[in-house]
Amino acid sequence: MLGKSKELSGYNATETAFKKLSGNSPSILHIATHGFFFPKLKEKPKKSELLGQKNSYRYQENPLLRSGLLFANANYSWQNGNNPYEEDDGILTALEISNLDLKNTDIVILSACETGLGDIAGSEGVYGLQRAFKMAGVKTIIMSLWEVPDAETAEFMNLFYSKWKKYNNPKKAFKESQQVMMNTYRDEPQKWASFVYFE
């Protein structure tokens, strides 16, 4: 399953480039960027509180607009408050992901912080990036539930890919990689236990 790859990094890693995968997505997508999730506000903000706010994502009612991934040029939009409905602001919301066709993708690896978070809606499950990728047709997702240090994330991912290549089985590779990390950082679960395998 692991074979030829195409890398998009730096200024080439744009929201538009990601959206172009719709209908023609690869079997494996590894996304290493910043993720975000804002929990639903307990009280609706007053208009006076919204004045001067640059980032409107945290105030959205739709949980799929309060979760997403940051791509090239997102800093400008994030800091200057562009509209979350704008087509290419570098901020790819879960809502935008849910409208893509990624059914050719067997697995998405989200090597970003807190990509497994979302609003819990009764018997409907979690509304966030994982739901968005499932709605887009992705079969399996590896995601994180909290921030993981960069060094340990890289260590985990290197283990995972080497074991995947060895076994040709991502689920087995994931379990074994977690076991190795647990043995290495037994008293520091924050360094390895964040990643989950979701089918």
Q: Is residue 123 part of a domain?
A: yes
Q: Is the dihedral of CA 89, 92, 96, 100 positive or negative?
A: positive
Q: Is residue 67 part of a domain?
A: yes
pLDDT of residue 191: 86
Q: Is residue 30 part of a domain?
A: yes
Q: Is residue 177 part of a domain?
A: no
CA proximity to 143, closest of 122, 155, 157, 158: 157
Q: Is residue 162 part of a domain?
A: no
pLDDT, one tens digit for every residue, the chain (199 residues):
566 788 889 989 999 999 999 999 999 999 999 888 887 766 665 555 555 555 677 667 788 888 999 998 888 777 776 655 566 789 999 999 999 999 999 999 998 765 655 555 655 555 688 899 999 999 999 998 888 788 999 999 999 999 999 999 999 999 999 999 999 999 999 888 889 999 9
Which residue's entry shows tokens 């520091």?
Answer: 188
What are the tens digits of pLDDT across the range 55-65? 677 667 788 88
Using a pLDDT cut of 90, give the percent of the chain over it.
49
Q: Is residue 154 part of a domain?
A: no
CA proximity to 81, closest of 45, 105, 55, 104: 55
Per the rule left: phi > 0, alpha: psi between -120 and 50, beta: everything else, 52 is: left
Q: Which domain holds residue 56?
A: 11-147
Under 8 Å between Cβ of 97 and 136:
yes
What are the tens digits of pLDDT across the range 72-100? 888 877 777 665 556 678 999 999 999 99
Q: Which residues contact 11 (CB under 8 A, 6 or more apart)?
A: 72, 73
Q: Is residue 4 part of a domain?
A: no
Number of domains the chain contains: 1
Q: Is residue 94 part of a domain?
A: yes
SS (H, E, C) the chain: CCCCCCCCCHHHCCHHHHHCCCCCCCCEEEECCEEEECCCCCCCCCHHHHCCCCCCHHHCCCHHHCEEEECCCHHHHHHHCCCCCCCCCCEEEHHHHHCCCCCCCCEEEECCCCCCCEEECHHHCEEEHHHHHHHCCCCEEEEECCCCCHHHHHHHHHHHHHHHHHHCCHHHHHHHHHHHHHHHCCCCHHHCCCEEEEC
For 184, counting Cβ atoms within 10 Å of its Cβ (0-12 exposed, 13-18 middle, 19+ buried), the class is middle
Q: How far apart are CA 170 and CA 112, in angstroms?
A: 18
